[in-house]
């Protein structure tokens, strides 16, 4: 609780604001930066304060009160503290706090390092009494911990014979010269484009940040810097969601495929981008590769992911893992059995496996396949399309990947037919922690109605899809689905505990009528049974009654039932199916209307909760609604809306950032992930290509986001920092949305690829960490070339180290080779041979362009 009266508080705040704006302007004023988060406990929450063994924290009466078990030897045997506190060497800090204790005792206030070797900066002992007193001491830092680093403040409460309660409040550490939070590592541009690519034949829009009231001249330049198109922007004014004043730029009329384009206005230039269907076709598979990376219970092999992403199997009972083969329920449940729940995908950056989230993710992959079989092209997912162990088993690879999770969901079914809500660690582990090094006990949470209905829905859907592939498996799935549905009807309100958030996420959901509708819809579509039909038609969600601009997510699943009823043949009245389909068009129209007024168009409704945890997945799930509206009506406007959503996610946003790792010159790298933890341990990799960041979350629900982003406009509440789990985690249900939408978009990009007049043959000799490649380029067209430029992208970590017979250059994974004066002339039917030596590993590139046009592969 604040000790100052409100008026004084307001005055103090104003003074602090004035001082910090002075500093922002460059004045070397005295440092007054508050380094501690939530030192007042005003919100009633303790976060980000932690307590160590033998101590329990509770916020009560506006203070943080620690119940300490007595009988310890040293002061540091009982701790409370806060990590990630920034300190700068040589700077002075004032540490102050209010404190009292039930029984008088000494405590030590300390500043230091949160990880081994736990170096100290300063500490001082104070004696507490039952009366609240304020304590202060000043010190100079001897260590340097940048923001989100390993700095710590702690109170040592141990060394006492008896139990005691110690309360602290108004904890403050003031000092330092750098603003708290440092700088978002991703600088923003003024000209905001999709950093990856625009597809030929489709709209191409960008956003200019400018307060100018009049149209500005834009210029599109090719990779050689030559202007190829220009036009005028349209001023739109202030955009509250981004905090920017914006103009729209539309360069749709330019349609020449190529790489390395930039868009500029005056001195300001965008990041480079392609006009090409190639990137989205790569993303279709990279977004699916995410799921192989996340597999639990199996080694992730270098032959599929390259050396840097390979790792031993996690949670198979090899020490220090306790294994998922024999997992008991939490002690308080006493369920009387253990389950073998090996396999499945890790949910996210943590090592939990949660049925409701695994359920929607598996469903979305399977739906991508089912949709393609009904109204699209399922050959894109055939056997051999993904780099996974099952790539030549004769089954479409998308189904193989989804089955890894579906099999796990089946294992989560209890003997009574209900499904356990989740299995995860007893306590949160540190970052980084490789899966195979997680030593926490694994525990099953209670069964829940929501998890049981997820299992019923996904197993019923999968049964339908495997009918012609593996009849035995299909029958097993249907038996499990029927049993789960019956169990859920017998236990219709068994809700997951919203407070069960230690060592894993809660994923609690207080409304399950939507899960009932979804499961009944899947079972009806698979079986045609009248009992399921009765439940579908009687649901308050029937005929897309629950479909709004809010879309769907792990806790709101009614639209999944609508999608299945609209796609899979079933016995419902034709008029009802038509009503479901038209609901998709109605909601899609609402999205398009809203998007037309946005500075950075995205199908997202921020009117009630702002930008929420995982907002990028909401954007993409809503893009799926737009895509289905296009499937059901054929209207081009809905297709264009899907691509607009992708443009937002891939860089046309106020942070000039691609939220998809490996895609674009400024892409997410430092996902909150216990293995892709390069930011914390340089020997570990960054997030692999195709993984999606959760995205802006204006509720700032973690300490790093709070420190870095306070006051952010909604679309800017994001930072590429491993500690910022409420904005920059990855998750299976988010990547499934990216996979669905990029797969759809890749399918819709196919027809506009320009006709090929070139052929490229690529042969490489490879060794452990290098390669030597020969490239044969043939002019298969009718006109002679006077110069040529070859473009391709490496799927792995390969880097050209020395090339010959061309001018070679590489940016990220994109490589170009431009002709020399002596081999630029290539007549029809003629070939040139070039080559290079390189480092790194990965499979051969699968797509090539000459002068921006896609080539046949020899
Ligand atoms: O790492 C955890 C992440 O996967 C979850 O999404 C998030 C919210 O449940 O919690 C993260 O774990 C943090 C925990 O909640 C609080 N202590 C620090 C943990 C690691 O940053
Ligand atoms: O995606 C979940 C989001 O909707 C919730 O608001 C958030 C807090 O409960 O949890 C998110 O899910 C996380 C889960 O609890 C633990 N694994 C990582 C998930 C993604 O951050």
The CA-based dihedral angle spanning residues 342, 347, 351, 355, taken in that order and rounded to the nearest 10 degrees? -50
User: Which residue matches tokens 């930039």?
Assistant: 262
Closest CA to 649 of 658, 640, 661: 658
pLDDT given at position 770: 93
Residue with CA nearest ligand 1 atom 7: 725
Whether 58 and 170 share a structural domain: yes
Q: Which atom of ligand 1 is nearest to the CA of 349?
A: 4
Looking at the fold, whether 48 and 133 belong to one and the same domain comes out as yes
| Residue recorded with tokens 């490589």 | 815
Mutate to test the pocket of ligand 1, among 725, 726, 730, 734 (most ligand atoms within 8 A of CB): 725
Joined tokens for residue 271: 């990041």
- Specify whether 780 is located in the same domain as 852: yes
Between CA 820 and CA 829 the distance in angstroms is 19
Mean pLDDT throughout 825-851?
90
Q: Are strands 758-767 and 856-857 parallel, antiparallel or unpaired?
A: parallel
Q: Identify the CATH number of the domain in which residue 263 sits.
A: 2.60.40.10
Q: What is residue 691's DSSP assignment?
A: P
pLDDT in tens, 504-524: 999 999 999 999 999 999 999
Q: How far is CA 590 from the centre of its chain?
A: 26
Is residue 479 a part of any domain in this protein?
no
Q: What is the rounded distance in angstroms from the CA atom of residue 175 to the CA atom of residue 114?
A: 19
3-state secondary structure of 8: helix
- The helix (run of H) or strand (run of E) holding residue 817 is strand 814-818
On whether both 159 and 248 belong to a single domain, the answer is no
Q: Which residues line ligand 1 (CB under 6 A)?
A: 348-350, 428, 501, 505, 725, 729
Task: State yes or no: pLDDT of 12 exceeds 50.
Answer: no
pLDDT value of position 767: 87
Could you tell me which residues come within 8 angstroms of residue 30 by beta carbon, excluding any fewer than 6 positions away? none
Tell me, what's the pLDDT at 183?
A: 60
Q: Would residue 272 count as lying in a domain?
A: yes
371 in a structural domain: no
- Do 145 and 256 sit in the same domain of this protein? no
CATH of the domain at 848: 2.60.40.290
Q: How far apart (Å, rounded) are the C-alpha atoms in residues 274 and 193?
A: 11
Residues 158 and 211 in one domain: no
For strands 63-68 and 55-60, give the pairing.
Answer: antiparallel
The DSSP 8-state label assigned to residue 454 in this structure reads: H
Residue 179: what pLDDT?
66
Residue 147: what pLDDT?
Answer: 64
815: helix, strand or coil:
strand
**506 CB near ligand 2 (under 6 Å):** yes
Q: Is the dihedral of CA 254, 259, 265, 266 positive or negative?
A: negative
**Domain final residue, candidates 119, 150, 175:** 175
Between CA 182 and CA 242, with CA 188 as vertex, the angle to 5 degrees is: 95
Residue 3 has pLDDT above 70, yes or no: no
In the residue annotation, 720 being an active-site residue is answered as yes
Got the DSSP string for 776-804?
A: EEEE-SSS-BSS-EEEEE-SSS-EEEEEE
Q: Which bound ligand lies closest to the C-alpha atom of 361? A: 2
- Whole-number Å distance between alpha carbons of 532 and 457: 12
Q: Where residue 90 sits, what CATH number does that domain have?
A: 2.60.120.260
- Give 428 Cα–ligand 1 centroid separation in angstroms: 7
pLDDT tens digits, one per residue of 289-321: 999 999 999 999 999 999 999 999 999 999 999
What pLDDT score does 757 carry? 84
Task: Look at residue 837 and tell me if it is in a domain.
Answer: yes
Q: Are 167 and 195 in the same domain? A: no
Residue nearest to atom 15 of ligand 2 (CA): 505
Of 13-22, 418-427, 576-585, 639-648, minimum mean pLDDT range? 13-22
Owning domain of residue 837: 758-857
DSSP state of 186: S
Which H or E run includes 709? helix 703-709
762-817 pLDDT tens trace: 999 988 889 999 999 999 988 899 999 999 988 778 899 999 999 999 988 889 99
What is the CA(165)–ligand 2 centre distance, in A?
A: 33
Which pLDDT does position 756 carry in this prediction? 67
> Are 223 and 790 within 8 A, CB to CB?
no
Q: Indicate the angle between helix axes 449-466 and 513-527, nearest 10 degrees.
A: 20
Instruction: Using the CB atoms, write b or e for 482-510: b if 16+ within 10 Å.
Output: bbbbebbbeeeebebeeebeebbbbbbbe
Any idea what DSSP says for residue 267? Answer: T
Residue 582 maps to a domain = no
Query: Which ligand is the nearest neighbour of the Cα of 672?
Result: 1
8 Å CB contact between 165 and 102: yes
Report which protein residue has its CA nearest ligand 1's atom 18.
428
Alpha-helical segments (H) within 528-599: 530-538, 558-567, 574-596
Q: What is the mean pLDDT of the chain?
A: 92
28 and 147 assigned to the same domain: yes
CA of 671 to the centre of ligand 1 (A): 13
Residues 57 and 148 in one domain: yes
Neighbours of 585 (CB within 10 A): 18
Select from 50, 348, 428, 497 the residue to mutate for testing ligand 1; criterion: most ligand atoms less than 8 Å from CB.
428
Which member of 113, 514, 729, 759 is catalytic? 729
Residue 205: in which H helix or E strand, if any? strand 205-209
Q: What is the pLDDT of residues 713-741, one digit of tens each?
A: 999 999 999 989 999 999 999 999 999 99
Average pLDDT over residues 215-220: 98
Judge if 26 and 122 occupy the same domain.
yes
Distance 730 CA to ligand 2 centre (A): 10
Mark whether 770 and 830 lie in a shared domain. Answer: yes
Q: Report yes or no on 265 lying in a domain.
A: yes
| Averaged pLDDT for residues 517-546 | 98
Give percent of the chain with pLDDT exceeding 90. 83
| Atom 14 of ligand 1, nearest CA residue | 428
Strands, DSSP E only, in 272-347?
273-275, 327-328, 338-339
In ligand 1, which atom is closest to the CA atom of 674?
A: 1
Tokens of 585: 């068009």
What element of type H or E holds 837? strand 831-839
Q: Looking at the CA of residue 352, tell me the nearest atom of ligand 1.
A: 4
How many domains would you assign to the chain? 3
Structural domain ending residue among the three candidates 175, 206, 236: 175
Convert the pLDDT of each residue in 428-451 to its tens digit.
888 899 999 999 999 999 999 999
**DSSP helix/strand/coil, 23:** helix
The answer to the question of residue 219 being in a domain is yes
Query: What is the atom index within ligand 1 of the atom nearest the CA of 347?
Result: 4
Q: Does the active-site annotation cover 729?
A: yes
Give how far the C-alpha of residue 437 lies from the chain's centroid of Cα atoms, to the nearest Å.
23
pLDDT per residue over 561-604, tens digit each? 999 999 999 999 999 999 999 999 999 999 999 999 999 999 99
Contact present, 69 and 36 (Cβ < 8 Å): no
Say yes or no: CB of residue 535 within 6 Å of ligand 2. Answer: no
The helix or strand, by DSSP H or E, that contains position 121, with its residue range, turns out to be strand 120-128
The predicted structure's pLDDT at residue 752: 41
Residue 497 pLDDT more than 70?
yes
Quick one: DSSP state of residue 754?
P
Taking CA atoms only, the protein residue closest to ligand 1 atom 2 is: 350
Domain boundary among 222, 247, 278: 278
| Ligand 1 atom 4: residue of nearest CA | 350
Q: Return the residue whose CA atom lies nearest to atom 1 of ligand 1.
A: 350
Q: Which ligand number lies closest to the CA of residue 705?
A: 1
Q: Are residues 121 and 57 in the same domain?
A: yes
Please state the atom number of ligand 2 nearest to the C-alpha of residue 726. 21
Catalytic one among 720, 747, 759, 814?
A: 720
In a domain, 125, yes or no: yes
352 CA: nearest ligand 2 atom: 17
Q: What is the pLDDT of residues 100-153, one digit of tens each?
A: 999 999 999 999 998 778 899 999 999 999 999 999 999 999 999 876 577 899
């Amino acid at each position: 609780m604040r000790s100052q009266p409100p008026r004084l508080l307001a005055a103090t705040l104003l003074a602090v604001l004035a001082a910090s704006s002075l500093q922002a302007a460059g004045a070397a004023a005295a440092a007054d930066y508050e380094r501690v988060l939530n030192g007042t406990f005003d919100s009633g929450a303790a976060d980000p304060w932690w307590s160590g063994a033998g101590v329990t924290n509770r916020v009560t009466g506006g203070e943080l009160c620690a119940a300490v078990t007595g009988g310890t030897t040293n002061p540091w045997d009982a701790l409370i503290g806060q990590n990630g506190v920034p300190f700068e060497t040589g700077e002075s800090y004032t540490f102050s706090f209010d404190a009292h204790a039930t029984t008088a005792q000494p405590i030590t206030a300390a500043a230091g390092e949160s990880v081994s070797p736990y170096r100290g900066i300063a500490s001082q002992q104070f004696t507490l009494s039952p009366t609240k007193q304020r304590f202060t001491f000043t010190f100079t830092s001897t260590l340097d911990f940048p923001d989100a680093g390993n700095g710590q403040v702690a109170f040592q409460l141990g060394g006492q014979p008896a139990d005691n309660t110690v309360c602290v409040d108004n904890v403050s550490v003031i000092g330092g010269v750098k603003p708290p939070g440092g700088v978002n590592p991703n600088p923003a541009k003024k000209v905001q484009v999709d950093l990856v690519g625009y597809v030929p034949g489709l709209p191409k829009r960008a956003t200019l940040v400018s307060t100018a009231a009049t149209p500005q001249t834009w210029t599109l330049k090719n990779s050689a810097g030559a202007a190829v198109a220009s036009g005028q922007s349209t001023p739109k004014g202030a955009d509250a969601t981004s905090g920017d004043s914006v103009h729209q730029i539309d360069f749709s009329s330019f349609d020449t495929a190529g790489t390395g384009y930039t868009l500029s206005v005056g001195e300001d230039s965008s990041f480079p981008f392609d006009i090409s269907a190639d990137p989205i076709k790569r993303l279709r598979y990279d977004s699916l590769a995410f799921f192989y990376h996340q597999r639990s219970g199996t080694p992730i092999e270098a032959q599929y992911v390259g050396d840097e992403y390979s790792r031993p199997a996690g949670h198979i009972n090899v020490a220090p893992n306790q294994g998922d083969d024999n997992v008991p329920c939490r002690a308080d449940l006493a369920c009387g059995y253990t389950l073998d729940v090996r396999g499945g995908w890790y949910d996210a950056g943590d090592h939990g496996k949660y049925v409701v989230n695994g359920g929607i993710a598996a469903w979305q992959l399977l739906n991508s396949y089912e949709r393609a079989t009904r109204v699209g092209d399922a050959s894109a997912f055939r056997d051999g399309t993904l780099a996974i162990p099952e790539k030549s088993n004769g089954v479409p690879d998308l189904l193989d990947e989804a089955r890894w999770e579906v099999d796990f969901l089946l294992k989560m079914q209890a003997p009574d037919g209900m499904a356990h809500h989740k299995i995860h660690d007893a306590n949160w582990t540190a970052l980084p922690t490789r899966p195979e090094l997680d030593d926490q006990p694994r525990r099953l949470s209670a069964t829940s109605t929501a998890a049981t209905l997820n299992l019923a829905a996904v197993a019923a859907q999968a049964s339908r899809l495997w009918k012609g592939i593996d009849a035995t498996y299909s029958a097993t799935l249907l038996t499990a689905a029927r049993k789960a549905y019956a169990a859920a009807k017998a236990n219709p309100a068994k809700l997951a505990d919203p407070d069960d958030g230690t060592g894993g996420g809660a994923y609690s959901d207080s409304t399950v009528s939507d899960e009932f509708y979804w499961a009944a819809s899947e079972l009806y579509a698979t079986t045609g049974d009248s009992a399921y039909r009765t439940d579908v038609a009687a649901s308050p969600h029937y005929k897309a009654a629950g479909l709004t601009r809010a879309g769907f997510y792990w806790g709101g699943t009614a639209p999944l039932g609508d999608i299945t009823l609209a796609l899979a043949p079933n016995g419902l009245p034709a008029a009802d199916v038509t009503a479901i389909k038209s609901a998709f068009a109605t909601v899609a129209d609402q999205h398009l209307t809203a998007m037309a007024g946005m500075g950075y168009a995205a199908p997202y409704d921020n009117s009630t909760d702002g930008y929420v945890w995982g907002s990028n997945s909401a954007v993409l799930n809503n893009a799926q609604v737009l895509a289905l509206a296009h499937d059901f009506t054929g209207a081009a406007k809905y297709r264009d809306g899907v691509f607009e959503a992708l443009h937002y996610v891939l860089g046309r946003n106020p942070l000039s950032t691609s939220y998809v790792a490996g895609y674009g010159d400024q892409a997410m790298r430092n996902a909150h992930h216990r293995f892709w933890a390069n930011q914390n341990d340089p020997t570990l990799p960054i997030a692999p290509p195709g993984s999606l960041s959760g995205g802006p979350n204006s509720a700032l629900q973690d300490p790093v986001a709070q420190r870095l982003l306070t006051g952010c406009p909604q679309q800017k509440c994001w930072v590429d920092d491993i500690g910022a789990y409420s904005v920059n985690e990855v998750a299976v249900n988010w990547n499934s949305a990216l996979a669905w939408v990029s797969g759809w978009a890749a399918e819709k990009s196919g027809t506009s690829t320009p006709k090929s007049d070139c052929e490229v043959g690529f042969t490489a000799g490879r060794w452990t960490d290098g390669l030597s490649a020969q490239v044969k380029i043939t002019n298969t067209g009718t006109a002679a070339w006077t110069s040529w430029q070859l473009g391709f992208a490496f799927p792995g970590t390969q880097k050209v180290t020395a090339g010959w017979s061309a001018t070679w250059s590489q940016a990220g994974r994109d490589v170009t080779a431009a002709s020399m004066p002596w081999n630029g002339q290539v007549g029809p039917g003629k070939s040139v041979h070039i080559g290079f030596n390189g480092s790194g590993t990965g499979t051969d590139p699968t797509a090539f362009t000459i002068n921006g046009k896609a080539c046949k592969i020899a």
